[in-house]
Amino acid sequence: MRPDILNPLFAEVNVLPGVGPRIAKAIEVCAGPLVVDLLWHLPSGLIDRSFSPNIAAAPPGAIVTLKIMVDSHHKPAVRRLPYKVRCSDESGELTLVFFHAHEKYLRELLPIGEIRVVSGRTEQYGDGIQLVHPDHIVPESEIDAVQGIEPVYPLTAGLNLKPLSKAVQAALERAPEMPEWCDKAYLDRQGWRTWNESLLAVHQPESEADLQPESLARQRLAYDELLANQMALALLRASLQRVKGRKISGDGRLRDAVRARLPFTLTSGQEAAIAEITADMTQPHRMLRLLQGDVGSGKTVVALFAMLVAVEAGAQAALMAPTELLARQHFATLEALLGDCGVTIVLLVGRGKKSERTSTLARLAGGEIDIAIGTHALFQSDIEFADLAVAVVDEQHRFGVHQRMTLAAKGKGVDVLVMTATPIPRTLMLTAYGDLQSSRLNEKPAGRAAIETRVLPISRLGEVVDGVRRAVESGARVFWVCPLVEQSEAVDLAAVEERHAQLQNIFGDRVGLVHGRMKSAEKDSAMSAFAAGAVDILVATTVIEVGIDVPEATIMVIEHAERFGLAQLHQLRGRVGRSNKAGNCLLLYVPPLGETARARLEIMRETDDGFRIAEEDLKLRGAGELLGTRQSGLPELRLADLAQHGELLATARDDARLILQRDPELQSERSQALRILLYLFERDAAARYLRSA
Ligand code: ADP
Ligand code: MG
């Protein structure tokens, strides 16, 4: 249950004065539906209204706050002309200009003969000065409310600054006095104030420096959010580990047999990962480990060794793939690697004969089957294992690993290994998984040649074509990627078709084409023609990013490389260099290059390390925009910026660990405050893991 102290913040925004249904809707779009969302809606700029000259001294184009006398109202003869109000002070005259004005309203707001304070940006008009729709018009008594520094908030269509600022102000007034959840000594060391003071400071910036992520108030709030995030993950983890695990250790007989059969030697990274996994499995607690490595880094063998430990111990193993196709591929690979080692392995996918399935299920339940490969259907309720000891989940490019991990681990105490081909930066790892153990395959298997990457302006297309010609003549195959350049699919299609036609003019009909609008069968046949060597050059949109594996392809040309994100460039480049032949990647760009695009291409030229690329991507783009993270169930951070607050994250992780070590059920006085923190950041689910919450 959410602590009562938070109730004022967890009401809908329409409880705030001045927020009707229309404004509430707009606020929901740009901040969120609840009062608390407004607290997290931080200013992105400020307007300094402290400049108060007299009218004669007010320069055009400046933000000024003026004290004026209202002289006369002038209603226009026709409605499309503006309504004008003439004003003055001892130094000169000023006109206030209003389009589509309501006369009655303006006459009440600006009564003739009275003094008013107006604030806005001045404009030159003829030889006079005017203010078009002043931002503020108030009686003299309220000058202090206007004549200061005003925060500017990110807006959305249909929402102006004034009502939004008022709503934020009202939200701030509802913020309850919070007990302190931070360690006192840490607060002092950082020079941070209380949560309430920091919140107010963040919404009342006095200078540009106050808007920066490293300002003390923003740091404090970011830390609070990260602490809530890390506490939540630690609680989840603790609850997973409360389910008792088991010690699994085999005698090594199957692993030795398979090792002897391998057509290659394991890389030291693979050996290290296998050692980490087997060590985990022999522990009495349950294994939860992530195995990360680029496509082609050799994760499958590592998974096989983990599964063999279970089989040696007389138990069973399962491998879950994201698609049926991948399940089949894994099955074929593993069957070949196992050969006649005496391990029984089956493929369990949706399709297939009912009678066959029934008998497979019976053998699985009876313990005859050692390893089952399948899709998520493996964890359907009708499937029973005699003794499942380890589950491997292959996530490929997906990010939302955590939920699956809990799913796969449901109630059984099974050791879980999750494989992912999306290198996850260290900082994101922490916010997404907390202290989850992880093994990384950094190096490529031996025998893979390096890829040379060059960055060229499109004006050098002629040279690129010459190079491709030479390569094709000596038997190379070439991917030629045309990206999604325009918003419209039709325009993109035209671009890729045009390039295809041009290359056909040069190279004849050994140039294939594949794009997203083609039927699956057409796509498959175009790709198989390329794989079989019937065509030398495959012009493609980014559909080739997934799946296709053509070891003979050694050249990757990417047009408009400046439009791609780093992760995508890396995935695309990974399509070549999958054999022992040297690869080339040519990144063609259309100048001028923006700063970020230049940085991206430079990184691509410098490194082929997926982890390094992921880190750089995070720095360049920010976590929220990292490939697919929004849709993937990564926690959304409102206040913390991982690229800026990385150190705070590490501290929050350590603090969360320490807090839960000392007080696992959050009973102490500070812990009561920490409970509030969890709910404040809507980590309700995690708070529920506390037995007495
Ligand atoms: P991933 O699942 O990480 O994308 P795979 O496990 O499918 O990669 O391995 C890619 C290819 O590399 C496979 O053909 C595999 O047999 C091969 N491979 C794996 N480990 C090694 C190694 N140590 N040396 C040489 N080739 C390897
Ligand atoms: Mg794989």
- For 276-307, write each residue's pLDDT tens digit: 999 999 988 888 888 988 877 899 999 999 99
The confidence score (pLDDT) of residue 255 equals 96
Protein residue with least CA distance to atom 18, ligand 1: 298
Q: What are phi and psi of 46, to 5 degrees?
A: -150, 155
Over residues 594-600, mean pLDDT: 89
Q: Which residues of 25-42 are buried (b: 16+ CB within 10 A; e: fewer)?
A: bbbbebbbebbbbbbbbb
Q: Which of 553, 542, 348 is nearest to 468 (CA)?
A: 553
- The torsion defined by the Cα of 541, 545, 551 and 553, in degrees rounded to 10, comes to 30
pLDDT band at 628 (very low <50, low <70, confident <90, very high): very low
Predicted local distance difference test score (pLDDT) of residue 399? 45
Query: How far is CA 663 from each of CA 134, 231, 671, 690, rounded to the nearest angstrom?
Result: 56, 12, 8, 11
Beta carbons of 538 and 479 less than 8 angstroms apart: yes
Tell me the mean pLDDT in the region 684-693.
Answer: 65
Q: What is the pLDDT of residues 110-141, one digit of tens each?
A: 999 999 999 999 999 888 899 999 999 999 99
Cβ count near 627 (within 10 Å):
18
Q: What is the pTM of this model?
A: 0.68
**More confident call, 616 vs 362:** 362
Instruction: Give yes or no for residue 296 CB within 6 A of ligand 1.
Output: yes
C-alpha to C-alpha distance for 494 and 505, rounded to whole angstroms: 16
Q: Is 440 in the pocket of ligand 1 (CB under 6 A)?
A: no
β partners of residue 124? 129
- The position carrying tokens 């949109």 is 541
Nearest atom in ligand 1 to 267's CA: 23
Cis peptide before 592 (omega within 30 of 0): yes
Q: Which pLDDT value is given to residue 216?
A: 97
In this structure, what are the phi and psi dihedrals at residue 626, rounded to the nearest 5 degrees? -60, 140
| Three-class secondary structure of residue 592 per DSSP | coil
**Res 356: pLDDT:** 86
* CA 445 to centroid of ligand 1, rounded, Å: 7
Q: At what angle do helices 646-662 and 426-433 cross, to 10 degrees?
A: 40
SS3 state at 16? coil
Phi, psi for residue 221 in degrees, rounded to 5: -65, -40
Contact 117, 134 (CB under 8 A): no
Structural domains in the chain, CATH included, are 4-45+169-206 (no CATH), 50-147 (2.40.50.140), 221-242+649-688 (no CATH), 253-441 (3.40.50.300), 451-607 (3.40.50.300)
Half-sphere exposure in the Cβ direction for 457 (13 Å, CA): 5
Q: Classify 301 as helix, strand or coil.
A: helix
Distance (Å) from CA 301 to ligand 1 centroid: 7
CA of 299 to the centre of ligand 1 (A): 7
Res 396: pLDDT: 58
244 three-state secondary structure: coil
Q: Nearest C-alpha to atom 16 of ligand 1 is from which residue? A: 298
By CB atoms closer than 10 A (0-12, 13-18, 19+), residue 20 is: exposed
Task: Give the number of other Cβ atoms within 10 Å of residue 290's Cβ.
Answer: 23
Q: Does the structure show a pLDDT above 50 at 422?
A: yes
Nearest CA to ligand 1 atom 21: 445
**Residue 410's pLDDT band (cuts 50, 70, 90):** very low
295 lines ligand 1 (CB under 6 A): yes
Distance 267 CA to ligand 1 centre (A): 10
**Residue 316, H or E segment:** strand 316-320
From ligand 2's centre to the CA of 438, what distance in Å?
17
The DSSP bridge pattern shows strands 537-540 and 477-481 to be: parallel
Looking at residue 180, its pLDDT comes to 96
**CA nearest 680: which of 318, 292, 224, 334?**
224
Length of the chain: 693
Handedness of CA 114, 117, 120, 123 (dihedral sign): positive
Average pLDDT of span 137-148: 92
Contacts of 406 (CB under 8 A, 6+ apart): 236, 240
- Residue 409 predicted with pLDDT over 70: no
- Whether the CB of 438 sits within 6 Å of ligand 1: no
415-420 and 288-293 as β-strands: parallel, antiparallel, unpaired? parallel
Ligand 1 site, residue 445, Cβ cutoff 6 A? yes
- Among the residue ranges 379-383, 528-532, 671-675, the one predicted with the least confidence is 379-383
Q: Which ligand places an atom closest to the C-alpha of 333?
A: 1
Residue 193 · residue 688 · CB < 8 Å: no
User: Taking a C-beta distance cutoff of 8 angstroms, is the pair 478, 544 a contact?
Assistant: no
378: its two tokens: 């493996």
439 lines ligand 1 (CB under 6 A): no
Q: Strand, coil or helix: what is 464?
A: helix
Cα–Cα dist 214/260, whole Å: 56
Write the burial class of residue 453 (CB in 10 Å: 0-12 exposed, 13-18 middle, 19+ buried): buried
Say how many C-beta atoms besides its own lie within 10 A of residue 82's C-beta.
17
Q: Separation of 439 CA from ligand 2 center, angstroms?
A: 15
- The pair phi, psi for residue 432, each rounded to 5°, is -85, -35
**Residue 484 confidence (pLDDT):** 64
State the pLDDT at residue 13: 96
E strand or H helix at 372, and its extent? strand 371-374
- Condensed to tens digits (0 to 9), the pLDDT of residues 206-234 reads 999 999 999 999 999 999 999 998 998 88
Give all strands (DSSP E) within 126-232, no chain letters: 128-132, 136-139, 149-152
294, 303, 449, 514, 528 from 299: Cα distances, Å: 9, 6, 19, 29, 26
pLDDT range class, residue 326, cuts 50, 70, 90: confident
CA–CA gap between residue 409 and residue 389 (Å, rounded): 10
pLDDT band, residue 488 (cuts 50/70/90): low
Determine whether the shortest distance from the Cβ of 278 to ligand 1 is under 6 A.
no
- Cα dihedral: 20, 25, 29, 35 (round 10): 50
Pocket perturbation via mutation, ligand 1, pick of 264, 307, 570 by most ligand atoms within 8 A of CB: 264
Q: Which two tokens stand for residue 311?
A: 């089989």
Q: Measured from the CB, is residue 293 less than 6 Å from ligand 1?
A: yes
What percentage of the chain exceeds 90 in pLDDT?
57
CA of 632 to the centre of ligand 1 (A): 27
Among 259, 274, 301, 392, residue to substitute to test ligand 1 (most atoms within 8 Å of Cβ): 301
Between CA 666 and CA 683 the distance in angstroms is 15
Least confident of 421-425, 554-558, 581-585, 671-675: 421-425
Identify the residue with better confidence: 107 or 323. 107
Closest CA to ligand 1's atom 20: 298
Orientation of helix 426-433 relative to helix 216-242, angle to 10°: 60
Q: Tell me how far CA of residue 22 lies from CA of 40, 144, 157, 190, in angstroms.
A: 21, 30, 11, 42
Distance 296 CA to ligand 2 centre (A): 7
- Tell the residue nearest (CA) to atom 24 of ligand 1: 445
The confidence band for 239, taking pLDDT boundaries of 50, 70 and 90, is confident
Residue nearest to atom 25 of ligand 1 (CA): 445
Residue 358 tokens read as 């029934």
The CB of 321 under 6 Å from ligand 1? The reply is no
Residues 6 or more apart whose Cβ sits within 8 Å of residue 581: 449, 476, 552, 554
Distance, CA 417 to ligand 1 centroid (Å)?
Answer: 18
pLDDT at 266 over 80: yes
Residue whose CB lies within 8 A of the most ligand 1 atoms, among 259, 262, 297, 575, for a mutation test = 297
Among left, alpha and beta (phi > 0; psi -120 to 50; other), residue 361 is alpha
**For 42-82, how does the pLDDT look when each residue is reduced to its tens digit (9 = 90+)?**
999 999 999 999 999 999 999 999 999 999 999 999 888 99
Q: Is 296 exposed, middle or buried (0-12, 13-18, 19+ CB in 10 A)?
A: middle
Ligand with an atom nearest the CA of residue 327: 2
Q: E strands along 168-315, which residues?
A: 288-293
Spatial contact of 358 and 383, defined as CB atoms under 8 Å apart: no
Contact between residue 84 and residue 74 where contact means Cβ atoms under 8 Å apart: yes
Atom index in ligand 1 nearest the CA of residue 302 equals: 6
**Alpha helix stretches (DSSP H) within 350-460:** 354-366, 401-408, 426-433
Alpha carbon 121 to its chain centroid, in Å, reads 39
- What 3-state DSSP class applies to 254? helix
pLDDT band (50, 70, 90) for residue 145: confident
Phi/psi for 510 (5° steps) reads -85, 35
**Rounded distance between C-alpha atoms, residue 256 and residue 296, angstroms:** 23
Residue 517 pLDDT > 90: no
Q: What is the pLDDT of residues 429-478, one digit of tens each?
A: 777 777 678 898 887 776 677 789 999 999 999 999 999 999 999 889 99
Q: Is the pLDDT of residue 405 over 70?
A: no
Helices 595-606/566-573 angle, 10° precision: 30
From ligand 1's centre to the CA of 35, what distance in Å? 52
